[in-house]
Amino acid sequence: MSGIKRYLLRKTIIYILTFFFAVTIDFIIPRAMPGDPIAVLLSRFATLPEAAKYLHSYFMQAFGLNKPLWEQYLSFWNAVLHGDLGVSIYYYPKPVAEILKEALPYDIALLFPALVASWFVGNWLGALAGKNRKLDTYLMPVFYFLQASPYFWLAILLSYVFTFKLGWFPISGAYSYGIIPSLSWEFIKDYLYHWILPFLSLFMVQLGGWAIGMRNMIIYEIEADYVRYLEALGASEKTLMKHAFKNAMLPQVTGLAIQLGLLVAGNVTVQIVFSYPGIGYVLMQGIMNQDYFLIQGAFLVIILTVLVANFVIDLLYALIDPRVRTSYTEEGT
């Protein structure tokens, strides 16, 4: 088998196992935890006897509580694979899958640009700081501070400055109340106007991390023997940096997979600050209202998104790292 194939096969096995693990967790936790979530859920419908009755039969069916555990587990899998994530209590009677399907595009439209933009700008600034000592003394503390900030706190700070003090941007929602989502120029403008602050919150914290990573790598590479050798050959600084940058790049691509988890978590909290209607906001509603189906569904969708993104990053890595192409003997990174 060729290097790339083996590498991707191994990764895919890990991802399939991860998904399996995530679904199992989703199944086990409500059953293993103290208390009776279903009783809690039903008690919330005490004023709506019709809904409570319907839900009771729904739970009996969905959880199959009178059946043996393994049978419950199999039917749980069956439901998940058919995209059936239950019915939301808070948004009753809307199915959880539908709610999440409506929310997900807002997340992707925030996460993807934030990740890509922060990666490019962060690496560029980090490389600048890495080769220029004077710049480094000023930039490094800023990078660290950004990386150390909780995402949602930076969101609070930005909204305080740009909304309360300056009044430049709106504080909540993904678009104005009066506007109906469509592909008109008016809507896009309004959407971007609401998008900018949540985007900046994610972008700035991530930027700090990438810049620090690149800075350290560049400092490390500049001292490497091959760079010294090039220097001795009289190569220009531009050539030196080009080679150092190329080598420093690889860990930054691997880092994408690790940062992704943090970014997704940050995204959840940032959306709460801006009441931005993505999965994070929906999840918060689920938590505040003890809407367990919604929480569990959001958990699965978040994991699935991260798995897909990880796979894309792996493909990318296989393309840019020649070592993967030629041989893949060591365990994956």
Part in contact with other proteins (CB under 8 A); list of ranges 63-71, 178-186, 248-256, 304-312:
304-312
Choose between 26 and 190: whose C-beta lies nearer to other proteins. 26
Choose between 200 and 283: whose C-beta lies nearer to other proteins. 283
Whether the bond between 105 and the residue before it is cis, its omega within 30 degrees of 0, is no
186 burial level (CB within 10 Å; 0-12, 13-18, 19+):
exposed
d(CA 247, CA 250): 6
Among the listed residues 72, 149, 252, 254, the single contact to other proteins using CB under 8 A? 149
Which residue intervals of the chain are DSSP H helices?
Answer: 3-32, 37-43, 49-63, 69-81, 96-131, 133-148, 151-159, 185-222, 225-232, 237-273, 279-288, 292-320, 322-326
Part in contact with other proteins (CB under 8 A); list of ranges 107-115, 117-125, 157-165, 226-234:
157-165
Part in contact with other proteins (CB under 8 A); list of ranges 70-78, 116-124, 190-198, 252-260:
252-260
What's the min distance (Å) between Cβ of 55 and other proteins?
Answer: 18
Closest C-alpha to 121, from 234, 25, 214: 214
Count residues contacting other proteins (CB under 8 A)?
Answer: 67
* Three-class secondary structure of residue 327 per DSSP: coil
Instruction: Specify the amino acid at residue 122.
Output: G
Choose between 190 and 291: whose C-beta lies nearer to other proteins. 291
- CA angle at 11 for the pair 209 and 25, rounded to the nearest 5°: 85
Among the listed residues 80, 268, 318, 324, the single contact to other proteins using CB under 8 A? 268
DSSP state of 92: T
Each residue 60-99 as x (binds other proteins by CB under 8 A) or -, in order, gives ----------------------------------------
DSSP sequence for 255-291: HHHHHHHHHHHHHHHHHHHTT-TTHHHHHHHHHHTT-
Each residue 20-59 as x (binds other proteins by CB under 8 A) or -, in order, gives -xx--xx--xx--xxx-x----------------------
Q: Which two tokens stand for residue 172?
A: 């909540």
Residues in the site for other proteins, rule: CB under 8 A? 14-15, 17-18, 21-22, 25-26, 29-30, 33-35, 37, 133, 136, 141, 144-145, 147-154, 156-157, 159-160, 163-164, 171, 212, 216, 219-220, 223, 257-258, 260-262, 264-266, 268-269, 272-273, 283-284, 286-288, 292, 295-296, 299, 302-303, 306-307, 310, 331-332
